[in-house]
Amino acid sequence: MGITKEPFGSEYTLYTITNAKGTQIKVTDLGGTIVSLLFQDKNEVMQDIVLGYDTPEEYLKNGGFLGAWVGRSGNRIGLARFELNGKAYQLPVNDNDNNLHSGPDIFSSRKAKVQLTSDNCITFSIKDSDLRQGYPGNFIGTCSYTLTDDDALRIRYTGECDSDTICNMTNHSYFNLGGHACGSMEDTILWMSCDKYTPVVDGQAIPTGELRPVAGTAFDFTTQKPIGQDINADDEQLKFVGGYDHNFVIQKDKGMMVRFAEAYQPKTGICMECYTDLPGVQFYAGNCIPEMHGKDGALYGPRDGFCLETQFYPNSINQEGFAKPILRAGEVVESVTTYRFTVR
């Protein structure tokens, strides 16, 4: 119980938080990345339920945002540009015609400062100089991981800047509740409270601006069903991105802490309840995970993990009617997302 640390390669450190039940999360100061999450299943076997790599070099070379803390702005910004206070800003283009996850100078490729630790919490911080990623202002972001004794992983983000800027931080963990090495997660049962999603433009994955009802479509998870049940349905939105890779609407604006999803894996009995105060969640079914080696010699491939990335909607800075992820100079913005694990 508590926090231990060990070397992670020659330049980084791996921190392990262990709670009273033996549940563990391992995170590294290489970008504040989640490397593993160990939880005991219904058969009393410890399962590592997030995809990851064994070495810093693999994280830096292979990418995929496995376990990544994403900032300043997660998801896509259309045409990699936006206007703020009447001034235009150009970002790097790294995803078709767009900017994805503020790349290529991503947080997960940098060494984060360990700002604070306690018995069950560790906080990482990254300073981003004015225009380093293309965004205005000198920015300080923090990401705190707290592991509670009732098996909840609480992720808290804060951001502050000396100029008006964008702040839309998230975590990009790929979950597989059957264990990271077990292959496809398509038999995972998913429920989401979301009755609308944001359809995207073919070839760009940028929202059209519509909030489309999920009722009667493959996107309806308001009644629980296996992720793979409708993933190959004859739906143009699924065909545009090879499966689920869409933002779902949790609430109109940032505000209340909402229970928005529950995922359950019958083979292990592991259940994950999800809570956030953010407006949306990007449900990504791992459609584009390439065949590659992960932790412990595991071979990963398409749909071997799923992401529930809490966020402001993609391209919200440019889309009329979407809540804006604007951080005003001198203010501190905060958001919290919690994943709670149980066994059935």
Catalytic site positions: 172, 309
The pLDDT assigned to 74 comes to 97
Helix intervals (H) in the chain: 56-62, 236-241
Pair 72, 168: CB distance under 8 Å: yes
Token reading at 135: 């965004």
**Mean pLDDT over all residues of the chain?**
97
The pLDDT assigned to 300 comes to 98
Confidence of residue 39 (pLDDT cuts 50, 70, 90): very high
Confidence of residue 159 (pLDDT cuts 50, 70, 90): very high
Sign of CA dihedral 194, 198, 199, 203: negative
The pLDDT assigned to 115 comes to 84
Query: Could you tell me what percent of the chain has a pLDDT over 70?
Result: 100
Residue 165, pLDDT above cutoff 80: yes
Pick from 242, 200, 238, 239: which is nearest to 220 by CA?
238
User: For residue range 89-144, what is the model confidence (pLDDT) as tens digits?
Assistant: 999 999 999 999 999 999 999 999 998 778 999 999 999 999 999 999 999 999 99
Averaged over 178-206, what is the pLDDT? Answer: 97
Please provide the DSSP assignment of 246-284 as one string.
EEEES-SSS-S-EEEEEEEETTTTEEEEEEESSSEEEEE
Token reading at 36: 């593993």
Confidence of residue 29 (pLDDT cuts 50, 70, 90): very high
For residue 51, report the phi and psi dihedrals to the nearest 5 degrees. Answer: -75, 150
Query: Could you tell me what percent of the chain has a pLDDT over 90?
Result: 98
The pLDDT assigned to 63 comes to 80
Averaged over 67-81, what is the pLDDT? Answer: 98
**Alpha-carbon torsion, ordered 185, 190, 195, 200, to 10 deg:** 0
User: For residue range 218-265, what is the model confidence (pLDDT) as tens digits?
Assistant: 999 999 999 999 999 999 999 999 999 999 999 999 999 999 999 999
Q: Indicate the SS3 state at residue 59.
A: helix
The pLDDT assigned to 117 comes to 77
